[in-house]
């Protein structure tokens, strides 16, 4: 989580932790940054239909 937080411009990973726990909804800006980080589209990230 720390590596992701740093890569997308957050100084702490607590924001990501709250999203993972369902205690906070991610903003569209956050989702776009995460999608870019992982090299997927926002749709692929949100729908979680990526073949691994």
| pLDDT tens over the chain, length 52 residues | 888 998 998 888 898 999 999 999 999 999 999 999 999 999 988 886 656 5
CA distances from 43 to 11, 36, 40, 49 (A): 26, 12, 8, 9
Look up the domain containing 31 and give its range.
Answer: 2-47
Residue 30 inside a domain? The answer is yes
Residue 21 inside a domain? The answer is yes
| pLDDT attached to residue 52 | 57
What's the number of domains the chain is made of? 1
| pLDDT attached to residue 51 | 62
Q: How far is residue 49's CA from residue 7's CA, in Å, rounded to a whole number?
A: 24
Residue 52 inside a domain? The answer is no
């Amino acid at each position: 989580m720390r590596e992701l937080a740093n890569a997308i411009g957050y100084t702490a990973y607590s924001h990501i932790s709250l999203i993972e726990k369902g205690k906070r909804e991610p903003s569209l800006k956050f989702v776009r940054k995460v999608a870019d980080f992982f090299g997927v589209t926002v749709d692929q990230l949100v729908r979680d239909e990526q073949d691994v």
